[in-house]
């Protein structure tokens, strides 16, 4: 043992100074990484243009046809191709380089918008056809972008990267939605089309400047314990249909993927109920009009932006499982308060605050889900797994729309919405229970509860 030294001036023994371990530097935001920042900016630019068009197309269809059916047909034209082809398009994403896929798809999206310049009341088929084509191309871009994120950040920053992508999504919605209506009023559909086409060109250019790591995807998957048996990893050059089936079986084989798919599908079913009954609730229970409906629907994006920033901090301290489970539970509580508050107050600003608050746990659950998927999915199956989950959830949301339309004729709207909040609560409980299985002890994984157990 080291003897204490003596201070010559004080004449008193002093203990030797113990060496202190250097504190690890606080990780910088993924936005400081050039390649991630380029793809993030690309997503923000193209998504903002998309929101302009998503607002303008139904407005044009309504004005041209004079009926709500004409406007709703636009949404059906976007939904049906995604449901039918979405999981198959995911196979193509896995066969192609993700970066090049995004570049080519963005350029095609911009080019296919141009026929809308000739759309008119007697040529509405152009609107519906282009809406379907753009939906299919979007079903390629989104899985490619989500599969590219692990190649842009370190494994320990994957959750933060996903949270920032959620910020981009909500920020583009917050900016693009009001600009869509304003731009359509000022320059009409041709002006919106040209602006949106330009955003795709800029988006493709930004992605082209990026240089994703060719190894980060594999490193992330290994760190999380995915596909530890090489026989369990999907083969990259199977026949197209066999590769599609293999993507589906991957969801079944990797236990966290099955749980994530079931929970997300159930949550989107509840979201479909909300999309229909939200308008009924605002009009009937709050006595509000169209302006208030638009306001309340839009302000959730403010919470989404705040939620993305907050989730980027929380995911350094909590596992993705905790974000998913408690995010759904908090969302359920906020929903229940919102739907049952009308006997106390109908002030719109109170509900605006609640809708903003709801955006925060909504982003937390989404970020937790996609982080789990990215970490436990074999790298060469990531595109088709994400596309398949998106297809399931889209179908569930459509089913929720139909169920809500039928039930509202027979059951009080508040009772149905309380049931919808209960579904969110169930999602949270299932996440905390089922995702507990996803435990990994592999070195290098900070989020130890999301490693895969491949059966």
Any idea of the CA torsion for 183, 189, 192, 193, to the nearest 10 degrees? 180
- pTM for this one? 0.68
**Closest by alpha carbon to 278, among 262, 265, 295, 263?**
295
pLDDT at 251: 79
Cα–Cα distance, 137 to 109 (Å, whole number): 7
Give the C-alpha distances (Å, rounded to integers) separating 42 from 50, 96, 150.
12, 19, 16
Question: Can you give the pLDDT of all 455 residues of the chain as single tens digits?
Answer: 444 444 444 444 445 555 555 555 566 778 888 898 999 999 999 999 888 888 788 778 877 777 656 666 777 777 777 777 766 776 777 778 888 989 999 999 999 999 999 988 788 888 888 888 888 888 888 888 888 888 888 888 888 888 888 888 888 888 887 787 788 888 888 998 999 999 999 999 999 998 887 654 444 444 444 444 333 444 444 565 566 666 667 777 777 888 888 999 999 999 888 877 887 888 888 887 766 776 777 777 788 888 877 877 787 788 889 999 999 999 999 999 999 999 999 888 898 899 889 888 988 898 888 888 888 887 777 777 887 888 888 888 878 878 887 887 788 889 999 999 999 999 999 999 888 654 343 333 333 333 333 33
pLDDT at 329: 95
pLDDT at 328: 95
**Closest by alpha carbon to 57, among 137, 106, 126?**
126
């Amino acid at each position: 043992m080291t003897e204490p030294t003596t201070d010559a001036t004080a004449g008193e023994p002093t203990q030797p100074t113990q060496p202190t371990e250097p504190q690890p530097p606080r990780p910088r935001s993924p936005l400081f990484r050039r390649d991630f920042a380029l793809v993030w900016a690309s997503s923000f630019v193209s998504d903002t243009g998309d929101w302009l068009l998503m607002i303008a197309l139904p407005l044009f269809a309504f004005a041209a046809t004079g009926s709500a059916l004409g406007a709703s047909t636009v949404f059906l034209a976007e939904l049906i191709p995604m449901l039918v082809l979405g999981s198959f398009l995911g196979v193509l994403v896995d066969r192609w380089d993700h970066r090049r896929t995004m570049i080519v798809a963005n350029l095609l999206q911009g080019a296919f918008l141009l026929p809308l310049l000739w759309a008119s009341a007697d040529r509405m088929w152009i609107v519906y056809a282009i809406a379907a084509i753009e939906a299919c191309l979007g079903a390629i871009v989104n899985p490619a972008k989500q599969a590219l994120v692990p190649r842009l950040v370190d494994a320990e920053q994957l959750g933060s990267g996903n949270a920032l992508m959620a910020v981009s999504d909500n920020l583009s919605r917050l900016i693009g939605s009001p600009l869509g209506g304003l731009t359509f009023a000022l320059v009409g559909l041709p002006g919106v089309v040209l602006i949106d086409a330009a955003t795709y060109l800029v988006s493709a250019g930004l992605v082209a400047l990026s240089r994703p790591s060719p190894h980060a995807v594999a490193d992330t998957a290994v760190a999380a314990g995915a596909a530890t048996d090489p026989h369990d990893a999907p083969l990259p050059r199977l026949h197209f249909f066999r590769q599609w089936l293999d993507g589906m079986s991957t969801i079944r084989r990797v236990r966290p993927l099955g749980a994530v798919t079931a929970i997300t599908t159930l949550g989107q079913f509840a979201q479909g109920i909300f999309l229909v009954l939200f308008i009924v609730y605002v009009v009937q229970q709050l006595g509000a009009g169209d302006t208030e409906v638009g306001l309340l629907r839009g302000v959730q994006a403010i919470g989404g932006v705040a939620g993305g920033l907050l989730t980027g901090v929380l995911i350094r301290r909590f596992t993705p499982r905790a974000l998913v489970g408690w995010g759904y539970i908090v969302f359920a509580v906020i929903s229940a308060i919102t739907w049952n508050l009308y006997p106390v107050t109908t002030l719109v600003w109170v509900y605006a605050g609640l809708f903003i608050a709801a955006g925060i746990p909504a982003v937390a659950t989404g970020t937790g889900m996609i982080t789990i998927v990215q970490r436990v999915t074999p790298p060469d199956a990531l595109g088709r797994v994400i596309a398949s989950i998106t297809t399931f959830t889209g179908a569930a949301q459509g089913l929720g729309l139909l169920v809500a339309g039928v039930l509202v004729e027979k059951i009080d709207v508040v009772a149905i919405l309380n049931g919808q909040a209960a579904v969110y609560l169930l999602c949270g409980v299932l996440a905390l229970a089922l995702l507990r299985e996803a435990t990994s002890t592999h070195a290098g994984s900070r989020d130890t509860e999301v490693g895969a157990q491949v059966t």
